[in-house]
Chain A
Amino acid sequence: MRNGHRLLRTLAASLTVALLAAACSSSGGGGSTGGTKNRKVPNVPMAKSLGAGEGEVNLVAWAGYVEDGSDDKKIDWVTPFTKQTGCKVNVKIGNTSDEMVQLMRSGQYDGVSASGDATLRLIYGGDVAPVNTSLVPNYKTISSFLKNGNWNSVNGQMYGIPHGWGANLLMWDPSKVSGNLDSWSAVFDDAGKYKGKVTAYDSPIYIADAALYLMKTKPDLKIKDPYSLTSKQLDAAVALLKKQKANLSEYWSDFSKEAQSFESGTSEVGTSWQIIANTINGAGKTTVKTTLPKEGATGWSDTWMISSKAQHPNCTYKWMDWITSPDVNAQVAEYFGEAPAQTKACSHTADKNFCTTYHALDANYAKQIHYWTTPQKQCVDGSGNDCTDYSTWTRKWQEIKG
């Protein structure tokens, strides 16, 4: 054992010395390199025609997008797909956009239901291929305001098929919060009123919510787009979020935790999704209200993309067409609680008012939503190349959480 001690001590000592030397001799800075020049999209070939299915397809998806009846016997749009096309569907659930990017980088998957804060990373990383929309017949009737967005296309070339969208809403418990809220000030400037009862989304992308609020309330900051922030604008958003933290009950990142947080009375007001509100109101422990505040909101628009290394491209194309077909898109949208991308889906929903509730065909409502987009050095709104990128946002987010 004596030898063991010596070994340990030597190990500890050498590790310490090596690290100190490394830390002291550093040239400083470090971290990221490059990125200021205009970046080219990697040249990935696009499918020209489709052949027979390969018998299988491997997908990465948000929970609730690829249901084969194993969660709920009545919820199944995978089995009919397999029956019709002969493509067996294997799905891997991604919990966050970041996880999805990681999974797609592994090259083991054919397709992904990517949100806008993942799409550009995948496109510029060469992990996904451009999509030949003429091979997806259902693409024609997708809502036009979802086509050629700056989160799903580059230079007019679509990189996927829009699937569904929704807004991050302001939610509150009317039994504890009086009046009808109509502004995000409830979670920012006026958050002190609900001290210790405010909840916020636990992701660097939530910085955009603060930026959107500042865009409407502090015009002298000249924020034009909540995802294109100069370092000065980013600092202002970060300062707002640090102030907000003092009033928070907790951060949430998963669905069930947010629901439990409101049901138990831990949180009374904060950002949420329509599906979470539906879940809480459905369970009946407490009732919550939601609104799209007057400042507008951040939100998501999900796109089915195909991997540049897809082993089963034909089945993936068949899946993209299947999931955006009117009947299936209606089922997914109702199950997940978001607006369907397919305009014809609205006549197939079980709840005839569904598309009205979710403003599915309302281009003006959709315009108020600033879809999650990956912040980049080269500003995503095209205003220049002095913006802050996602890794800077992540560092700032860790700084906010302290």
Chain B
Amino acid sequence: MAGDQGLTLTTAPAGTAPTGDDLGRRGALSAFFAYKRRTRLALLLGPPVFWLVIAYLGAIAALLLSSLWSIDGFTEKVVHSYGTGNLHTVFTDATFRAVTVRTLGIALLVTVVDAVIAFPMAFYMSVVASPRLRRILVVLVLTPLWASYLVKAYAWRVLLAPDGPVASVFGGTPGYGRTALVLTLAYLWLPYMVIPIYAGFEKLPRSLFEASSDLGAPPGRTVRSVVLPLVFPAIAAGSIFTFSLTLGDYIAVNIIDSKTQMLGNVIYGQLITANNQPLAAALSIIPLLAIVLYLAAMSRTGALDNV
């Protein structure tokens, strides 16, 4: 559709009769572009390439560069002399290492929790539910994305309070700790896992289920040997979202589990509290590296082929 609209742009808008002058000018313009293929290409690709190279990769390059600077101990202003002290600190400091390991652990745990919840949900939505119910369920899954992140994080604070709803229904609450943090993050990122898996199921030919049962496989076996391998790339695609979103989070941690630090908190602390931008830049290389490695691992599963 977008292509069609693009073509109609060269015709005059309905209701206004084009004057001869107008047509002439437009004709000249089309003639100009018809012969200058390179110009046309440059105009078409220029903005996105600018965005990707200058704004996007440029920002990362600036980050890497500023991690080599240092800071004046007194005025806290950045000194533009190059050295690898910050990187050395980041990769040798025991606190930073502990925080890195913890953050990766939490990110993986959140991803697993989301996958375990999202798989049956997506299966039900795509395979079992009627088309009408399916539409309602998709809307319900996406609705929380309309609410503010902060509201949702604070809502979990209220839910998990010692005298809160969770405590009164289940007779206890995990309190504000690691469990609560994983729960909250898993809740926050769940839609990002459900939707890719749901899309994965949608692409699955239903005849495969029948074939599997015709060959005598019980439902459990069908899920294990037919569904899971075929949907796995979709799960991997969803996990990229849950993993990377958790890796960068620092607000939910403050609200739900303030005794824990994640990488985001340490980076924020160095950037805002200590005003040490170079060290913060050096620290943010860790999640960058983790995500590049994670993407590389996921691309082997074929997760990136469909996104």
Contacts and interface: CB of A to CB of B under 8 A. Distances in A.
Contacts, number: 171
Given A4-B299, A397-B269, A265 B71 contact: no
A378 B257 CA distance: 36
By size class, the interface of chain B is 35 or more
B276 A394 contact: yes
B261 A398 contact: yes
Contact of A391 (B68, B76, B77, B258): B76
A22 B68 CA distance: 9
B206 to A, nearest CB: 27
Interface in A345-401: 376-378, 389-391, 394-395, 397-399, 401
B75 interface: yes
Interface stretch (B24-32, B82-90, B128-136): B82-90
B285 interface: yes
B142 interface: no
Interface string A1-20: 10011001101100110010
Interface stretch (A49-57, A69-77, A96-104): A96-104
B258 A31 contact: no
Interface stretch (B119-127, B224-232, B287-295): B287-295
B293 A31 contact: no
A252 B258 CA distance: 7
Main DSSP-derived SS at the B contact region: helix
B76 A266 contact: no
A242 to B, nearest CB: 12
B222 interface: no
| Max chain B C-beta neighbours (<10 A), residue from A4, A5, A31, A248 | A31
B107 interface: no
Contact of A27 (B84, B92, B161): B84
A376 B71 CA distance: 14
12 contacts: A5-B300, A15-B292, A26-B84, A26-B88, A31-B70, A32-B70, A34-B72, A121-B75, A125-B75, A125-B76, A265-B163, A394-B276
Interface of B: 68, 70-77, 79, 83-92, 95, 98-99, 157-158, 161-164, 175-176, 254-255, 257-261, 265-266, 269-270, 272-276, 279, 285, 288-289, 292-293, 295-296, 299-300, 304-305
Given A30-B84, A124-B75, A389-B74, 17 more contacts: A5-B304, A8-B296, A15-B288, A22-B84, A23-B88, A30-B70, A32-B73, A33-B79, A98-B275, A102-B272, A125-B77, A248-B259, A250-B259, A265-B161, A266-B161, A376-B74, A391-B276
Interface of A: 1, 4-5, 8-9, 11-12, 15-16, 19, 22-23, 25-35, 39, 96, 98-99, 101-102, 121, 124-126, 202-204, 245, 248-253, 257, 260, 264-266, 376-378, 389-391, 394-395, 397-399, 401-402
